[in-house]
Amino acid sequence: MLLDADVRGPFVSIFIWTVLFAGLTVLFSTVLGMTLAVLLEWQPLQHRALYRTLLFLPYAVPGFISILVFKGLFNQNFGEINAILDALFGLRPAWFADPLLAKVMILVVNTWLGYPYIMILCSGLIKAIPADLYEASAIAGAGPLANFFKITAPLIAKPLTPLLISAFAFNFNNFVLISLLTDGRPDFLNTKLPAGTTDILVSYTYRIAFTGSGQNFGLAAAISTLIFVMVAVMALVQLRLTQRTGARP
C-alpha cells in the first residue's frame, strides 16, 4: 500500500475521499435532519404529523431501491434532473463521467438517505428538553435562533455525538451506495489495479479481490485489516462517549 508508487497513488486518494465522504455525509445529514426536527417541533406549524410522515419516507423505502431510482434521475441523457437543469439553465452535467460531479451526486443521494435517521434522533432529544427552559427564554425576549444555539443545540449535542460516530463508521463502509450508484467510476487512468475516483476503501478492496484479471487477495486483505482497525477505533471512541454521556447507541 505504501511502498509501491502505482498502488500508493490511488490508495491515498481513495482513503482521503473515504474520510471526506463519511464526514461530509454525517455533516450534511445532521444539518438537514436537525433543521427539519426543529421546524417540526414549531408549535404554530399545522399538519406536523403529515410533514413528519412525508419526511420519514426516504428512511422507510429500502435503500437499494432509492439508489437505483436516483441513478435513473441523474442519467445524463434521459434523467429528470438534467431535463430540469436543461430547461432552466441549458445545462446537462455529466454526473457519471466527471469525478467531481460524481462525488457531488453521491453526497446528495447519501444525504437524502441519511437525514431521516438524524431527524428522528433529534426529534426525540428535543422532546426530552424541559419546556421551562423555552418559557424562561421567551420571558427574557430571546428569539428562535437564540433558543436553538443557546438551549437546543447544546443539550442535544452530547447525547447525539456517539450516534454520529456510529453513522460515520457506517458510511465509512457504505459499499451498497457506491456499488449500485457509480461502481467506483470514473476510473483512474493508467493504474496497476482497478481503482475508481468515487471508490471508498471497502469498494476498492472488493474490486482488487474479486474483479479484473489481476485479483490481488493479499493487498485486499491488507486494506481490510486497515479498515477493521479504523472501525474498531471508532467503536471504542463511541463506547467511551456513550458511557460518558449516558446515551444509548
In the predicted model, residues of the chain with pLDDT beneath 70 are 212-214, 244-249
The domain ranges of the chain are 5-245
- Average pLDDT taken over every residue of the chain: 88
pLDDT in the model for residue 29: 95
Q: Return the closest-CA partner of residue 53 out of 146, 119, 152.
A: 119
pLDDT tens-digit map of 194-205: 889 999 999 999
What is the pTM (predicted TM-score) of this model?
A: 0.88
Cis status, amide bond into 186, omega within 30 of 0: yes
For residues 21, 22, 24 and 25, what is the CA-based torsion angle, rounded to 10 degrees?
100
CATH no. for 5-245: 1.10.3720.10
pLDDT in the model for residue 60: 86
User: Greatest CA separation found in the chain?
Assistant: 71
pLDDT in the model for residue 244: 67
Q: d(Cα 243, Cα 237) in Å, to the nearest integer?
A: 10
pLDDT in the model for residue 212: 65
Q: d(Cα 136, Cα 125) in Å, to the nearest integer?
A: 19
pLDDT in the model for residue 247: 45
